[in-house]
Amino acid sequence: MRDDTIIDIVVMLAEIADSSGGVLADPRSARKKIIKKGHSPKQVDRALSLFRKKSNFRVKKPHRVFSEHELSFLSPESAKMLSSLVRYGILSDEQVELIFIRASLDEEKLNLDEFRRVAEMVIDIDNLKVSEAAFVEGDEDIVN
């Protein structure tokens, strides 16, 4: 089993769509291809579901250049992943802002694993549980 997360698989799906003219023409074939790389069928199905929700998906969509201040909240790996998600149209401008708001709550830069969790939450915001939305790792002062 690979360490990649749902977000990584969503990016892989976008790359597959990019190679076929911007459309995921054969989702079953893409699913099999990603499963052969060592991902679980459950992960791939979840990623496909998120990918399909992105009605605004466009390959290599032009996007803004992030400021130094914005990037100061992200590790270099997280910034690279954010750029891919925005370029492929997987994240809307509003979702990017939610990620930066969440990242600004931490004293440390948002590492790649934390970024993946936050990105998955904002992509699937309709199914987000309140307990996940309020989660701030390591903040024991927050009482429900």
Number of independent structural domains in the chain:
2
**For position 49, what pLDDT does the model report?**
85
Do 37 and 89 reside in the same domain of the chain?
Answer: no
Q: Taking a C-beta distance cutoff of 8 angstroms, is the pair 14, 51 a contact? A: yes
Do 106 and 83 reside in the same domain of the chain?
Answer: yes
- Name, in order, each residue with C-beta under 8 angstroms of 40's C-beta and a sequence gap of 6 or more: 1
Among residues 117, 120, 118, the alpha carbon closest in space to that of 47 is found at 120
Among residues 78, 80, 85, 82, the alpha carbon closest in space to that of 61 is found at 85
Element of type H or E holding 7: helix 6-19
What are 28-87's pLDDT values in tens digits?
A: 888 999 999 888 899 899 888 888 776 455 555 566 788 999 999 999 999 999 998 888
What are 103-117's pLDDT values in tens digits?
A: 999 889 999 999 999
Token match 């590492």: residue?
A: 111
Mean pLDDT of 126-136: 48
- The tokens for 46 are 């979840």
Do 107 and 82 reside in the same domain of the chain?
Answer: yes
In a domain, 77, yes or no: yes
Do 72 and 49 reside in the same domain of the chain?
Answer: no
